């Protein structure tokens, strides 16, 4: 029998975003209710449109964080597992504005560690689809960071040991001739990492295409809402940007324009007419003592090129390209000044995301309110508390939509 009329008010409908029964949320999880309960919506919970993508009245996102939780060899090497559904689902069900899935390799040899996530085949992209579907069932936007580890590939997972390159005996490939690559034969750390093989122009062009293919899989097979290119933390693209790691004399080295060429070529093949494109960079190499190190001034200069090439969001982090870099400061929002420097320069022409030890609601709200950044990305604080959005909403005295299964014990009866 089909329920009609008054009975329909109480009929639980299923979301059409997943291939199984899931109670449909009538409005996206995490959105701030617009009623007398919320007299004034804080800046952190204001809407934001990124190209054709509208965030659910919330500027808080989960920063990409590697979990090193895939098979390190065999047919399932690099493929998403039920862990990833639980891990990212825990953020989605709690109503974060957007999620960026961890760095996923565009090539097997580009994995940061043997347990790294990958998206170098259609099968890898299909394995990620349940994660995307579950996020969409909450009304949450989800993207994926794609990248290549370059000279820092084939290392230990961060939860196992200090960073060091590993070979075949530990399921790595640092002892395979030509497997570790970079712009120039300069290693990250003489004691712990091998010297990379300098990429040929033909190999560079092949990697450009692999980035494009990975992005297409992410959109067409996995169903992600956006893609982020990983150009930070000393991995392949970052190492091309800096003079400290790029000593090439061809079209991919030397001048500023040549050193950013690889990144721009990737942007051109990855970008899509309908979906937004994010790019993460290290705002500073944090190594002022090294001649030619990448600085915030370089990032500000780069931002003009990113605008020209159609980037929608610049995600500003720092460090990672030199083992001689200064230790990062660890105060609240210690990287916000880097994002602010870019935002002050680009104005409304480019959206800017900030990241780095942002743990307090009022601080995060002030970042948005003061125009220092457009999006606040959070890492470790979400690991500690997947319900961080709830906590920050309470701290800012704003009521937000919770998923049906969790909302009713706190707020009953629900708003009509």
Q: Catalytic amino acids?
A: 235
- Note whether 243 and 259 are within 8 A (CB): yes
192-210 burial: b if 16+ Cβ within 10 Å, else e: bbbebbebeeeebeebbeb
| CB proximity list for 198: less than 8 A, separation 6 or greater | 181, 182, 183, 184, 185, 248
- Read off the tokens for 209: 């295409």
- The position carrying tokens 């995600």 is 315
Following CA atoms 228, 233, 237, 241 in sequence, which dihedral angle do they give, to the nearest 10 degrees?
A: 120
What separation in angstroms does the CA of 260 have from each of 192, 215, 269?
27, 20, 15
What separation in angstroms does the CA of 258 have from each of 20, 156, 180, 228, 356?
50, 32, 22, 22, 30
Secondary-structure breakdown of the chain: helix, strand, coil percentages, each rounded to the nearest 5: 35, 15, 50
- Note whether 111 and 153 are within 8 A (CB): yes
Phi, psi (degrees; rounded to nearest 5) at 189: -155, 120
- Read off the tokens for 227: 């893609």
Whole-number Å distance between alpha carbons of 198 and 200: 6
DSSP 353-370: EEESS---HHHHHHHHHT
What separation in angstroms does the CA of 248 have from each of 180, 227, 240, 322?
17, 29, 9, 18
What separation in angstroms does the CA of 377 have from each of 96, 129, 153, 190, 333?
10, 23, 25, 33, 10
Whole-number Å distance between alpha carbons of 97 and 311: 20
């Amino acid at each position: 029998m089909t329920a009609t009329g008054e009975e329909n008010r109480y009929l639980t409908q299923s979301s059409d975003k997943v291939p199984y029964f899931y109670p449909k949320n009538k409005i996206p999880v995490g959105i701030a209710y617009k009623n007398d309960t919320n007299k004034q919506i804080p800046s952190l919970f204001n809407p934001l449109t990124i190209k054709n993508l509208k965030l659910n009245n919330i500027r808080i996102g989960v920063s990409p964080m590697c979990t090193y939780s895939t098979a390190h060899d065999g047919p399932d090497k690099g493929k998403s597992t039920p862990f990833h559904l639980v891990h990212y689902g825990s953020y989605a069900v709690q109503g974060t504005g957007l999620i960026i899935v961890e760095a996923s390799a565009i090539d097997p040899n580009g994995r940061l560690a043997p347990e790294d996530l990958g998206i170098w085949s259609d099968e890898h992209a299909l394995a990620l689809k349940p994660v995307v579907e579950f996020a969409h069932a909450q009304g949450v936007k989800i993207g994926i960071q794609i990248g290549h580890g370059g000279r820092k590939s084939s290392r230990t997972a961060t939860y196992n040991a200090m960073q060091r390159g590993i070979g075949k005996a530990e399921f790595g490939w640092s002892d395979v001739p030509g497997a570790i690559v970079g712009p120039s034969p300069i290693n990250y750390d003489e004691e712990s990492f091998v010297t990379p093989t300098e990429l040929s122009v033909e190999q560079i062009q092949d990697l450009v295409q692999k980035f494009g293919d990975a992005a297409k899989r992410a959109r067409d097979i996995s169903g992600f809402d956006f893609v982020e290119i990983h150009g930070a933390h000393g991995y392949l693209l970052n190492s091309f940007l800096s003079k400290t790691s790029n000593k090439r004399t061809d079209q991919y080295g030397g001048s500023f324009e040549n050193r950013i060429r690889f990144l721009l070529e990737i942007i051109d093949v990855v970008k899509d007419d309908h979906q937004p494109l994010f790019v993460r960079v290290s705002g500073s190499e944090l190594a002022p003592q090294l001649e030619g190190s990448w600085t915030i001034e370089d990032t500000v200069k780069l931002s003009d090129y990113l605008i020209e090439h159609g980037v929608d969001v610049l995600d500003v982090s720092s460090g990672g390209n030199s083992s001689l870099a200064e230790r990062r400061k660890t105060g609240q929002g210690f990287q916000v000044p880097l994002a602010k420097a870019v935002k002050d320069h680009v104005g409304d022409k480019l959206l800017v995301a900030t990241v780095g030890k942002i743990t307090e609601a009022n601080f995060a709200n002030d970042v948005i309110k003061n125009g220092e950044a457009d999006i606040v990305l959070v890492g470790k604080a979400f690991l500690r508390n997947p319900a961080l959005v709830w906590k920050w909403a309470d701290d800012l005295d704003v009521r937000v939509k919770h998923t049906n299964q969790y909302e009713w014990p706190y707020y009953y009866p629900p708003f009509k």
